[in-house]
Amino acid sequence: MTGPVLSVRNLRVEFPTRHGTLRAVDDISFDIAAGEVLGVVGESGAGKSMTGTAVIGLLEPPGRIAGGEVRLKGQRIDNLAGEALRRIRGRRIGMVFQDPLTSLNPLYRVGEQIIETMRTHLPMSEAQARRRAIELLSEVGIQGASDRLDSYPHQFSGGMRQRVVLALALCAEPELIVADEPTTALDVSIQAQIIQLIKRLCRERGTAVMLITHDMGVIAETADRVAVMYAGRIAEIGQVADVVQRPSHPYTKGLMGSIPTLEGSETRLVQIPGSMPRLTAIPQGCAFNPRCPQAFARCFLEQPAAVFVGRSEVACWLASATPVQGTP
Amino acid sequence: MKPERPLVDVQGLSRVFDASKPWLNRMLEGEQRMLLKAVQDVSLQIGRRETFALVGESGSGKSTVAKMVVGLLQPTAGRVTIDGVDMWKTTASDEMTALRRRIQMIFQDPYASLNPRWRVGAIIADPLNAFGLTKGRDETEAKVAELLRLVGLDPADMHKYPHEFSGGQRQRICIARALSSNPEFLVCDEPTSALDVSVQAQILNLMRDLQDQLGLTYLFISHNLAVVRHMATRIGVMYLGRLVESQPSAELFKAPRHPYTRMLLDAVPDLKMSGRQRRMIEGEIPNPISPPAGCAFHPRCPLALDRCRVDVPTPFASGGRTLACHAVEV
Amino acid sequence: MNDSSAPKDVLDRSKPPRSRLARSLDSDIAASFLRSRVVVAAGIAAALMVLAAFGAPLLAPSNPYDLNSVNLLDANTPPVWHKDGDRRFLLGSDNQGRDILSTMLYGTRSSILIGLLAVAFALTLGVSLGLIAGYVGGRVDSVIMRVADVQLTFPAILTALLVDGVASVMFKNQSGGTTKFWILVFSIGLSYWVQYARTVRGVTLVERNKEYVQAARLIGMNQFSIMFRHVLPNVLSPVLVIATINLALAIITEATLSFLGVGLPPTTPSLGTMIGTGNEFLLSGDYWMVLFPGLTLAILVLSVNLLGDWLRDALNPKLR
């Protein structure tokens, strides 16, 4: 078996401020294999987007990677800078953001943008690139692709624009796609279409996907594995079915219970008291301890390390305390 | 037995926005006036202590309905009657003030709905002062403290500014403000869509508790069907400015009638991963300025008949249900 | 938006609550002020000049308004470091025999006062009109903003000259320094209101659609209450920036008008009149009459401008 496409080890992202250094991402490790969709889920402030921007090297100063490694097919990319990083970003890593307009230049026709991106990274003639662009656009579900090639971004609707962005992200045949809240700005009916599209295209091409979202539903639909983040750390990571249906971490349990579903209409939703701590006030020990219904003495003193519970890795003292035989 | 008069009665509500360019541009560029029919012919009734939810995607006009029901936006046509008082007809100013006290609103964006330069205490006391509900500073302060406690905040928070609170706490402050005038009817426009799920659960639970405790009636606007399922007793589904279907909540989820409702339900991500069969909605939401002729949903509808391309289906109401579709038998 | 104080409160929960002053000294604005040496220097320079100007009666060696103490025989004395300098006149004297240093102190006071009052006038007028235009909209908006557009086509100095001319004719009989002073305040103020009105209108258009304004409308609050109690506090930070930069402009405009001879009469010294009189003697080598007031004006305007620029950056979260 070949190694993972993306491998992140002990990644730390820090923001020096006047009031001390804030740690937005704290000691995160995960792998994504070819053709696999890893969902990174968490509430606002969990550090999920920060992890994504760190992986693609787009952290805004003063934010910086303070430790750990990011490897793309074994090659370290977290220490690259400037031109080397830019070449990797368009060619080997594609990006999809929440607002499609941040990825599209409003002054150029979408065809020009796709063709130019392709020709920057791949040895192609103008005509070849144009043909490929039309293929791509029809593949992402844009009807009359050869005509739409000459449209400007503002002539597309929100859902169509996100399709164009997806085509743009895929055009240089990257090994990894980082998608940060790709469906959040879309209506439910359009969201479902885009999710299916991402899933299908990446499976067909063997592209690894890091799907960052706050929406557990999207994760359940799309991802193969999921990492649940809380206050800059991974609380639980494992197969989607395991995490969604049999969560082990008290936070994941609470999170799953707090989501209203179409099936049940219980009188009350499970409620996690309080809210995610601000970066300036992350509690000592396990960051979840003030909100955790099962916290005990150790949780207030030491940070739990990830241990296996079944097939999932869980960072919780409860999981460590109960002897569980797990096979990696 | 005579049925109780509904608290809120909306009849044939419509609203047209003028989306055309300024007069001079139209003259020079030879363009027509562009009228956006945001809401067309919406009728609904909300009984006391009921939660009526309006769901729909962007451009469905659900928020516009909310604004007209609450009195922020004048309807182009139609009537909003609250407990027998016609909101847009009444001219007596004391009657209007009395009506305003009884209706309040909770907004979507907890960051924009609190004045950043006002202390929380002043924000919550604003309706108290406007309606003269308390006498003197001490009484006002006591009432504000009581309201803060009611929504799960610390009375000492009244001296802080909104930016010192998280999104969920701000939404609690908004609820406290809305409750300060002892309203009977609350219009909630996407009250949790800007919040994280765990915080959303807190707010939804709070709203249900408050409803039981204070006997509130809600008009609940949302795009999230799961949230609506959790909150509503009755649900109305809107598409491109029209109410296409309304039913008691449990029945709507069990047996959705309108093809759009069915597809909307299918589009909700399946959290239980039950592998249920789903059909994707094809196509895009049309531009509301130039909606399709006939039934606005027909280009995306799998059941569309010839008639759907020509005639706008009229809502057929019976037994507390409404359906506007040619293809589905009532 | 401004989330600066909240995290600190969280951090400092263990410590006793600090005074308001201590907290404001620790704020992000204070920090950004202290970070830049240029801004600190500008702040100190401006503060010193304001102090000196308003302390003029105490600091000045003589009173230039007191005609009895002025002797024409002392006219055109060079500064002390020249061999025929006089110790009574540290920086020399002018063509009337008045001490340059004293005149400058009093003159700076008039300049700053006129600047401040003109800005206050422009600000009140501009902010009110901008609020009304933005909030009420429709015809009212069109009328106010078209007037503003028309006024923008004239340079500010021209407007000031026009208004000044008309007002001077109207109050011909009272040619005293006080009347002239208020005419200047009025004419300078009137020529700068447009900028406030435009900015405030823009911000008001955004704020009026925010939900807190809708909440106020919902309880039947009247338009003026909403405008002045709810919207006004939220449009003030850009206004503060404009006002600071405007102060520098107003001081220059006053100096220009006085230099041109339509400002304050020579008996009421200001930096502009001093430079105006000194200018006539520049060719005869009596440089001190124009150099020192000129330098003062330059430093004053520069430091106020620098403060304004910093304030704009500090209050704009996008540039941080």
pLDDT in tens, B162-217: 988 988 999 999 999 999 999 999 999 999 988 988 899 999 999 999 999 999 99
Residue of B111, B271, B300 best to disrupt the A interface, most CBs of A under 10 A: B271
Whether A19 has its CB under 8 Å from any CB of chain C: the answer is yes
**Number of domains composing chain C:** 1
What pLDDT score does C7 carry? 36
Distance CA A174, CA A95 (A): 10
Report whether A312 contacts A252 (CB < 8 A).
Answer: no
Whether C241 is in a domain gets the answer yes
Bond prior to C64 in cis (omega within 30° of 0): no
C-alpha angle with apex B58: B55 to B60, nearest 5 degrees? 60
Residue C125 located in a structural domain: yes
Q: A2 is written with which tokens?
A: 């070949």
The string of pLDDT tens digits covering residues B98-115 is 899 999 999 999 889 999
Any domain includes C35? no
CB-nearest to B57 from A188, A195, A241 is: A188
Put simply, the answer to whether C7 touches A281 (Cβ < 8 Å) is: yes
Residue A108, pLDDT above cutoff 60 = yes
- Per cent of chain C over pLDDT 70 is 87
Digit-coded pLDDT (tens) for C280-302 = 887 887 888 888 888 989 999 99
pLDDT of B54 higher than 70: yes
Closest Cα in chain A, distance from residue C12 (Å): 10
Q: CB distance C211–B117 less than 8 Å?
A: no
- pLDDT single digits (tens) B232-255: 999 999 999 999 999 999 899 988
Placement of tokens 């300098």 in the chain:
C85
**Terminal C-alpha separation, chain C:** 12
Indicate the pLDDT class of residue C16, thresholds 50, 70 and 90.
very low
Answer yes or no: do B181 and C219 touch at CB < 8 A.
Answer: yes
Residue B132 touches chain C, beta carbons under 8 Å = no
Has residue A222 got a pLDDT over 80? yes
On chain A, the residues whose CB falls within 8 A of the CB of C8 are: 19, 280
pLDDT score for C15:
40
Does residue C32 form part of some domain?
no
Q: Is residue B315 predicted with pLDDT exceeding 70?
A: yes
Binary contact (A18, C31; C-beta < 8 A):
yes
Q: What is the mean pLDDT of chain A?
A: 87
Q: Is B96 on the interface with C (CB under 8 A)?
A: yes
Alpha-carbon distance C128 to nearest alpha carbon in chain B (angstroms): 19
Please, is A235 exposed, middle or buried when counting C-beta atoms within 10 Å of its C-beta (0-12, 13-18, 19+)? buried
Pull the structure tokens for residue C113: 């006062």
The residue behind tokens 């039981």 is B212
Q: In terms of Cα–Cα distance, which of B252, B246, B255, B328 is closest to B295?
A: B328
Is it the case that residue C310 has pLDDT exceeding 50? yes
Calculate mean pLDDT across residues A275-295. Answer: 89
Within its chain, how far is the Cα of A141 from the centroid?
23
Lowest mean pLDDT among A292-306, B62-76, B232-246, B281-295: B281-295
CB-CB under 8 Å, C6 with A19: no
Range C291-315 average pLDDT: 86
Q: A 276-305 residues with CB below 8 A of C? A: 278-281
pLDDT at B175: 96
Question: What pLDDT, on a 0 to 100 scale, did the predictor assign at position C318?
Answer: 47
Residue of C9, C141, C211 best to disrupt the B interface, most CBs of B under 10 A: C211
What's the mean per-residue pLDDT of chain B?
A: 89
**Cβ pair A248, A324 in contact under 8 A:** no
CA B274 to chain centre: 31
Strand-by-strand arrangement of the A312-314 sheet = A93-96, A176-180, A208-213, A37-41, A225-230, A233-239, A312-314, A307-309
What mean pLDDT do residues C124-137 have?
93
Q: Å from C28 to nearest chain A CA?
A: 9
Mean pLDDT of B8-30: 84
Rounded average pLDDT over A48-75: 89
C5 assigned to some structural domain: no
pLDDT band (50, 70, 90) for residue C12: very low
**Under an 8 Å CB criterion, which residues of C touch B?**
1-3, 5-6, 9, 210-212, 214-221, 230, 233-234
A16: pLDDT strictly greater than 80:
yes
Quote the minimal CA–CA distance from B113 to chain A in Å: 20
Q: B242 - beta bridge partners?
A: B239
In this complex, the chains that touch C, judged by 3 or more CB pairs closer than 8 A, are A, B
pLDDT over 70, % of chain A: 96
Residue C46 lies in a domain: yes
Cβ–Cβ contact B193 with C under 8 A: no
Rounded to the nearest angstrom, the minimum Cα separation between C10 and chain A is 6
Contact B204 A240 (CB under 8 A): no
Taking CB atoms and an 8 Å limit, are C10 and A19 in contact across chains?
A: no
A297: phi then psi, degrees, rounded to nearest 5: -50, -45
What three-state secondary structure class fits C186? helix
pLDDT at C13: 35
In one letter, which amino acid is B315?
A: P
pLDDT tens string A166-205? 899 988 889 999 999 988 888 887 888 888 888 888 888 8
pLDDT at A327: 41
Q: What is the pLDDT of residue B153?
A: 94
| SS3 state at B55 | strand
Task: Measure the CA–CA gap between C109 and C261, rounded to whole angstroms.
Answer: 19
B116 touches chain C (CB under 8 A): yes
β partners of residue B16: B37
Q: Is the pLDDT of residue C177 over 80?
A: no
Instruction: Give the lowest-confidence range in A68-77, A207-216, B85-94, C190-199.
Output: B85-94
Tokens read off for B321: 């249900």
Contact A254, A273 (CB under 8 A): no
Q: Is residue C51 part of a domain?
A: yes
Tell if the CB–CB gap between A280 and C31 is shorter than 8 Å.
no
Mean pLDDT of chain C: 81
Nearest-Cα distance to chain A for C7, in Å, is 6
Compute the half-sphere exposure of residue C96: CA atoms within 13 Å on the CB side of its CA.
19
Q: What is the CATH number of the domain that holds C184?
A: 1.10.3720.10
Better pLDDT: C219 or C65: C219
**Residue C76 lies inside a defined structural domain of this protein:** yes
d(CA C41, CA A140): 59
Q: Do B197 and A270 touch (CB under 8 A)?
A: no
pLDDT at C20 exceeding the cut of 90: no
Say how far apart CA B166 and CA C127 lie, in whole Å: 32
For residues C187 and B89, is the Cβ–Cβ distance under 8 A?
no
Instruction: Write out the residue range of the structural domain in which residue C44 sits.
Output: 40-319
The ipTM (two decimal places) reads 0.87
Interface test with B, best of A224, A225, A271 (most B CBs within 10 A): A271
Distance CA C133, CA A119 (A): 52
On the question of pLDDT at A233 being above 90, the answer is yes
- For residue A228, what pLDDT is reported? 95
Kindly give, in sequence order, each residue whose CB lies less than 8 Å from that of residue A189, ignoring residues fewer than 6 positions away.
B57, B263, B264, B267, B280, B281, B285
A278·C6 Cβ contact <8 A: yes
Chain B positions touching A187 (Cβ under 8 A) are 57-58, 223, 285
Token pair for A220: 């359940």
SS3 of residue C262 by DSSP: coil
Q: Are C102 and C197 in contact (CB under 8 A)?
A: no
DSSP alpha helix (H) spans, A6-157? 48-55, 82-91, 110-121, 126-139, 145-148
- Measured between CB atoms, which of A160, A244, A273 is closest to B284? A160
> Chain A residues with CB inside 8 Å of C10's CB?
278, 280-281
